[in-house]
Copies of this chain bind each other. A is one copy, B any other.
Amino acid sequence: MARIVMKFGGTSVADLDRIRNVARHVKREVDAGHDVAVVVSAMAGKTNELVAWTRGASPMHDAREYDAVVASGEQVTAGLLAITLQSMDINARSWMGWQIPIRTDNAHGAARIMEIDGTELIRRFSEGQVAVIAGFQGIGPDNRIATLGRGGSDTSAVAIAAAIKADRCDIYTDVDGVYTTDPRVEPKARRMKKIAFEEMLEMASLGAKVLQVRSVELAMVHKVRTFVRSSFDDPDAPGMGDFDNPPGTLICDEEEIVEQEVVTGIAYAKDEAQISLRRLADRPGVSAAIFGPLAESHINVDMIVQNISEDGSRTDMTFTVPTGDIEKALAVLDRERSKIGYDAIQSEAGLVKVSVIGIGMRSHAGVAATAFRALAEKGINIKAITTSEIKISILIDSPYAELAVRTLHSVYGLDKG
């Protein structure tokens, strides 16, 4: 007997048939004797419809009222799932954010969870009741509904798991786990059994769109063991209720991963654009002069590469932005040219960033050299490189993206089971 949080996204609850399928997943865990809290998103398409209405009412809408409108989607799903569970003789009760309560800060539309009182949920577990919780929402200090921003239901699920000290948080989604790379690019990609929080953070933020980054951060902080698994599997297939080893990928503390691979995955992000500032004055404050104005213009800068200057006076600075932001970025840099002080500006859009990720590389030398050699053998030119303790990111021309992913996936032995 354990305590489990089960989270189902919009496509998993898109209609009454799918809600019934979700209820069968829940029943399996209830029948196994576990305490169960379910977190649900709005039915697929519903949030978009509600958001469009708020925009139609006024493009400059009040975030508090946006929240009141948009949070209704999860409310509907929570009620419908509770009804469906009851029809299967499961004692179930829906919970809105304000009822638990899930207390957030006052940043309506993109609120952060501050505190969850799990007392009543836990008391009702002891009465055999399943909690069906509307995801994506809480209540702010102003006593008004606050939503957590798009994809916030993952964050709700992990935060609730932490609050009720759940043994596991299962994120049911439309993929059956986290893969060593994108299977559409490399059919030999394998589903991982386990991945460390830090690795998942890099995978998530680098474009492996399985889990919201915030939810992984939260899981890491509170050490919430999080399974990514498919809601479209037959709920009663063999092994689905295996407590220690359900089908899917476990995101967990690195200490739980006994045999850590050196490299666990290859991620990629398309539509990167590179900007290089040439012969920049190499003086304190020059970085702030560049990236301050870009941040103020809401341009998201990713890779930053600065070489040490040869003579201590002039240097080059290269960084990437989303291709869609390149015109805006160039305009900002042109406007700030005299303050920054550079000779020339060069840019190139339509690039791809490929990243090699693995906690094991902290203790292994030569990981980067392996990547560079493998790409060189395929004639792939490297435009820029950044590294962190557990990641190497390489900027290349976009036609080589798939080849680079497959090459790296193979050279680190990820093809083999």
Q: Which residues of A contact B (CB under 8 A)?
A: 16, 19, 50, 53-54, 56-58, 60-62, 64-69, 71-73, 75-76, 78-84, 86-87, 93-94, 96, 98-99, 143-144
| CB-nearest residue of chain B to A54 | B83
In angstroms, Cα B60 to Cα A16, docked, is 15
In angstroms, Cα B20 to Cα A53, docked, is 12
Asked if B94 and A80 sit within 8 Å, CB to CB, the answer is no
Partner of A99, one of B87, B94, B143: B143
Asked if B78 and A68 sit within 8 Å, CB to CB, the answer is yes
In angstroms, Cα B83 to Cα A79, docked, is 26
Asked if B58 and A79 sit within 8 Å, CB to CB, the answer is no
Q: Can you spell out 30 A-B residue pairs with CB atoms less than 8 angstroms apart?
A: A16-B53, A16-B56, A16-B57, A19-B57, A50-B76, A53-B80, A54-B80, A54-B83, A57-B84, A57-B87, A58-B83, A61-B87, A62-B82, A62-B83, A64-B93, A64-B94, A65-B79, A65-B82, A65-B93, A66-B83, A68-B75, A68-B78, A68-B82, A68-B96, A69-B75, A69-B76, A69-B79, A72-B75, A72-B76, A99-B144
The smallest beta-carbon distance between A82 and chain B, in angstroms, is 5
Please, which residues of chain B bring their CB within 8 A of the CB of A78? 68
Asked if A53 and B76 sit within 8 Å, CB to CB, the answer is yes
Q: Which of A50, A62, A72 has the most CB of B within 10 A?
A: A72
The smallest beta-carbon distance between A265 and chain B, in angstroms, is 39
Please, which residues of chain B bring their CB within 8 A of the CB of A87? 57-58, 60-61
Q: Which of A60, A73, A76 has the most CB of B within 10 A?
A: A76
| CB-nearest residue of chain B to A57 | B83
Please, which residues of chain B bring their CB within 8 A of the CB of A76? 50, 53, 69, 72
The smallest beta-carbon distance between A20 and chain B, in angstroms, is 8
Asked if B68 and A94 sit within 8 Å, CB to CB, the answer is yes
| CB-nearest residue of chain B to A23 | B57
Please, which residues of chain B bring their CB within 8 A of the CB of A143? 99
Please, which residues of chain B bring their CB within 8 A of the CB of A58? 83-84, 86-87
The smallest beta-carbon distance between A96 and chain B, in angstroms, is 7
In angstroms, Cα B75 to Cα A71, docked, is 9
In angstroms, Cα B143 to Cα A94, docked, is 12
The smallest beta-carbon distance between A88 and chain B, in angstroms, is 9
Partner of A80, one of B69, B73, B82: B69
Partner of A62, one of B54, B61, B86: B86
In angstroms, Cα B67 to Cα A93, docked, is 12
In angstroms, Cα B134 to Cα A69, docked, is 11
In angstroms, Cα B61 to Cα A62, docked, is 35
In angstroms, Cα B65 to Cα A19, docked, is 15
Given A61-B86, A86-B61, residue A79 in contact with residue B98 (CB < 8 A)? no
Please, which residues of chain B bring their CB within 8 A of the CB of A93? 64-65
Please, which residues of chain B bring their CB within 8 A of the CB of A73? 72
